[in-house]
Chains A and B, each alone.
Chain A
Amino acid sequence: MTPLFPIGVLLVTLLLSAVSLPQEWLIYWPHWMGLACFWFVLYAPTWMNVVTAWVLGVVLDLLVGTPLASHGFGLAVAVYILSLVHRRVRHLTLLQQMLMVACFCWVAIQASVWVRWLTGGTVNPLYSVLTSLVTGCLWPAYLQVMRRLSQRFA
């Protein structure tokens, strides 16, 4: 896989993460960075490890304005757990994979939410649940798009 593909995916993911929507829709906006990290752990593990996930999370923090390393910590934890079981997850059915992605996304968001609670932020607890459910539902479509793109460009 050429390095251009992951860099392109990263740029598009950052763009999607920074889309400014009306306030009330933001809670339903998927965790694009989580999706991208999970895809790389499952299908291109040479490009993704805990430290990469942490760095990407910090970049996301810079973009969004959250306390530094809050998203970084969440993504690193989720990617660490997923990388322990990635072979098993890859062979699950699509529905089970969707559930797993939703769970890991919840772990990533909830860990970052805890960090934000520690630093004095207030976050609606529904945020992590709704966002991870939407992210899980998006997984099959994301998988299809990434499969096509990786066959064509990687």
Chain B
Amino acid sequence: MFVAILSGLLLLGEGSLDQVKAVRGYLASALSPIQTLAAQPMNWATRQTQDTLEARQLREQLRVLELENQRLQVRQQRMRVLERENDDLRAAVAAATRYEDEFVHAEVLAHSPDPFIKRMVVNRGFNAKAAPGQAVLDPSGLVGQVVEVGSLSSQVLLLTDASHRVPVVVERSGYKAIARGTGHDQLELENVPPTAEIAVGDLLRTSGLGQRFPQGYPVARVVSVERTPGQAFARIIATPVAQTDRLDQVMLVYRTQTARDRALAILEVAPGDS
């Protein structure tokens, strides 16, 4: 009975008190050596399989990577031109310059060993100025967000976890919705009317609403749209563009300015226009 009450209190406390979450972050970071150690056998097995790749395969991989690198460099040159053009245009309409997000590289120490919890531990804690709510990316798109911060490591909640929500916008039509994690490797769009402009293959990006995730990062691609007559909402399933289950390197996003700061900056630039 005592234990049941204690469990209930702890659960309630975790849900509502920030102090309990902070303590949890500290305690969890104390356990991170165990997680690092426990991840070693799997890392070793992966390394072994990688080491035994034949030289031919490695040469092939190298060729593909060189090609991709060239392609990216060419695109980057174009990007620079576009960025400058964009800045010029923004200056022309007296809008505030867009602030660049900064990235810090982090290594994944462990994935949650529970099959129904989509979390991982990364090697950046509050020493690296990680903070709860910070967005986490991989090269292809959004991975999740930091939820608990310890001194040397942080827990990242993946966007496929059943308790995770992310505001998204459909790239093609501009329709905005909330993407809910399903607990499997998929996302579901919540409360979307059957008439919404969404089709299979559409890319979902972060909309920036809610001010938690920075705007414009790819999140998922729609894989199925079911519109059942008589149902109030369409059932829309999307798969994340990031490989959320087998990541070993991620990027933490540091936002130089919040959306509110940006709005204030606009007011400062053009006080008469508001």
Contact = CB atoms under 8 A, between A and B. Distances in A.
**Interface of B (DSSP majority class):** helix
Contacts of A64: 112-114, 117
Contact of A65 (B41, B114, B183): B114
B104 interface: no
A104 B17 CA distance: 33
Nearest to A58: B10
Contact of A123 (B14, B37, B42, B116): B116
**Interface of A (DSSP majority class):** helix
B3 A122 contact: no
B119 interface: yes
A20 B110 contact: yes
Interface residues of A, number: 42
B264 interface: no
B31 A65 contact: no
Interface in A94-141: 115-116, 118-124, 127
Interface range, B side: 35 or more
B15 A119 contact: yes
Interface in A8-26: 11, 14-21, 23, 26
Nearest to B157: A65
Contact of B31 (A50, A62, A72): A62
A66 B38 contact: no
A120 B164 CA distance: 11
A68 interface: yes
Nearest to B30: A62
B186 to A, nearest CB: 12
Nearest to A74: B7
B22 to A, nearest CB: 13
Contacts of A66: 114, 117
8 contacts: A17-B38, A19-B38, A20-B113, A50-B3, A54-B6, A62-B31, A65-B119, A69-B10
